Structure 1
């Protein structure tokens, strides 16, 4: 097995040299994660949607504060009848205004609902920014990992081509069986296919990041990708002050305000009217006053209050569920980040160094006829798996860190959400 690992190590050394040759020029600007986040935050449809939601809630607040419109009353009595009521000889024309008067605090209850919705909409803007940050980070990590896998695929193709060349020389010199040349050719074909797939995946990942940022994507920050911070074992932080908890609380506040509004609807409103009536026969004018009160015979509003109460209880239960889920997700993200960090440090540190050294020794030994081709191919395979595992672990680590940051994102203070 040591001889197999050694062979793969040699492949890694050759791969590193090829990667250095294909690396973009140092003068090319590097798109860091901070630059990507700033670019995405400057022009994002997700941000625009959240801003539009805030404007809509504020407009709804203005609508909630409006009073009912008055009505114009126009009536004509004693017209088009018989006898003395023929035509307009005995008509009585009434013209006036009717003004609804809200009772039971309906206007204040509507405003309370609108204020709760404004707070929820403002909080949704913070949630949208946190979600966008998570999305950009994950897309950035995927694109960077795809670029590194592409570099490995190019290295492996170069290694496979070199192995095929050495095998051909050994066969022509009569030092090896033609089977070795065929086996090396199969490995080269497989490396070509892997490179083609890696190129396609890297192109798609870069295009996705470019669509999200609205700019062309070139060189990404490889140094940031390889940096792994020490994840200290500590109890998972609570979810009380997070955006998730704040959103659930805002939903509960809206439901509570809806209960108040439903109760206020049970109080019937009054409609006051004041009119002037003209009597055709005497040409006199008289004032007419009226009061209209609806009778809550069939619908007293109890069912609406019951619905609002049930929805409030549901919102409170969902708030508790959201807190439980958030705390579980935070603990899981912490464990994922710690596990990925351990794997990344091992795969990108001692394990990778050992695989590279084993591959280097296997390559030299194969050229000198001390090792067989199977030993070299096994060493190359081990090196490839180690390098791929390192990339996967680094990507998993940064993804877990991004998810943890999103889950623990703090809710804004009340003074920051006042509008």
Structure 2
């Protein structure tokens, strides 16, 4: 149940992080934070994938949650669709799901009783005193070994389930970050396209003044350089976008970008909760939560090791035929090892040591996840402060300065270098804003995935 709640939270958070146009796609039922309502635009199978992936039968892998080939998706790709496709087609996630099924199969094996043994024996072959014995024996497990073995195997399935959730979380984060990178690159291409247009307009204006003989032809060559530079930057960003799109598509196993463009919103907020408010929710993170189950598993392994020091009893019964008198008699057997030397001391000590180790590993996992939270929060704050300065102070001033200098240049008050400098400052500022917004959203996605809830829910 806990795993279901956590994975539902993670998927909702990642899907709502950027897609402002899809804000009504998934909501929580009032009073039940774990109850996810999925929109009608999802098919029944897809809704099942989003709500409870990893569902399998008692033993076998159903194959319902991951597929080997993803379909092409032309046109706009939202974060919602990107994450959903990753959860359906990612090979690493498929491997983790198969491992859960393997553990389930091992759990079934752990519950099986020993097979009975049938044994035949003939003595004094060819003599008048020949004896033939047929005996059936059965090992009887003592010390509760079977139940303890089942308990350890079931908890092993639980640990594998948490490992699946951890992989699921990582691939979803990777997809969200790759999506943000593509979205930011598309924004940069738009800005660089505007820069190229402005550079060409300025070149035309300078060309007219050169033709009129009011300025030197050197000024025109300078504008030629700016047009070439702007075109080169645009071409570089387009090539970079192609790489980023392939990287995004790789998350669901596609070898090339199988979508046209991404659609989302890089808007930010100034309201940020404190790290202490966020850290209280780290216990729901799979890398932390798994250790509760892992320590229970290791304790079960210790109990099984203690049970294994109790010898098992073997009982048998059969019939023996005596050729000499053509008589048949009953045979009853009973055997039990004497635990004089091997009382499973080494395995018990190893299990005790690993249980102690698990407690330390649990603490280390909590510290590691908390460090990831603090690092992501630091990135979030840095990006937020940078955006405040860029959007509220630098950008308005840069726009005003550029407009004034451009107007003054046409009136002969400023030279071309002043125009180019103001132009460079304005467009560089706009590009910095896009980059800062991208860093903000990547940090936001990571934080929300770590704590299992939305950053704006505080």
Matches within 5 A, 1:254-333: 254-333=297-376
SS of residue matched to 2:266:
helix
Matched, 1:48 2:94: yes
For the pair shown, which has the larger CA radius of gyration, 1 or 2? Answer: 1
Residue 168 of structure 2 aligns with which residue?
129
- The root-mean-square deviation of aligned C-alpha atoms, in Å, is 2.5
Residue 6 of structure 1 aligns with which residue?
none
- Alpha-carbon distance in structure 2 between the residues aligned to 1:303 and 1:164: 84
Deviations 1:171-205 (A, max 9, x none): 44333334333332222222222111100111222
Residue 82 of structure 2 aligns with which residue?
36
- Alpha-carbon distance in structure 2 between the residues aligned to 1:322 and 1:124: 13
CA contact (8 A) 2:110 2:150 kept: yes
Among 429, 434, 455, the alignment partner of 1:386 is 429
CA contact (8 A) 2:117 2:137 kept: yes
Q: Which structure has greater helix proportion? A: 1
| Stretch deviating more after TM superposition (357-366 or 226-235) | 226-235
- Alpha-carbon distance in structure 1 between the residues aligned to 2:400 and 2:262: 28
- Alpha-carbon distance in structure 2 between the residues aligned to 1:355 and 1:361: 10
Matches within 5 A, 1:47-86: 47-79=93-125
- Compared with structure 1, are the counterparts of its residues 32 and 353 closer, same or farther at alpha carbon in structure 2 (3 Å cutoff)? farther
Residue 266 of structure 2 aligns with which residue?
225
Offset, 1:298:
4.7
Report the TM-score, using the length of structure 1 for normalisation: 0.81
Matches within 5 A, 1:200-211: 200-211=239-250
Offset, 1:113:
0.8
CA contact (8 A) 1:54 1:118 kept: yes
Deviations 1:86-112 (A, max 9, x none): x35432111111211112221122111
Matches within 5 A, 1:327-342: 327-342=370-385
Matched, 1:118 2:157: yes
Structure 1 gap segments, 5+ residues each = 1-27, 80-86, 411-419
Offset, 1:233:
3.8
SS of residue matched to 2:380:
helix
Report the TM-score, using the length of structure 2 for normalisation: 0.75
SS of residue matched to 2:279:
coil
Residue 362 of structure 1 aligns with which residue?
405
Structure 2 gap segments, 5+ residues each = 1-73, 454-458
Residue 36 of structure 2 aligns with which residue?
none
Q: How many residues were matched structurally?
A: 375
Higher relative contact order (CA 8 A, sep 6+): 1
- Alpha-carbon distance in structure 2 between the residues aligned to 1:117 and 1:409: 24
Matched, 1:343 2:389: no
Residue 174 of structure 1 aligns with which residue?
213
Deviations 1:370-409 (A, max 9, x none): 2112212211221122112101110111111111011112
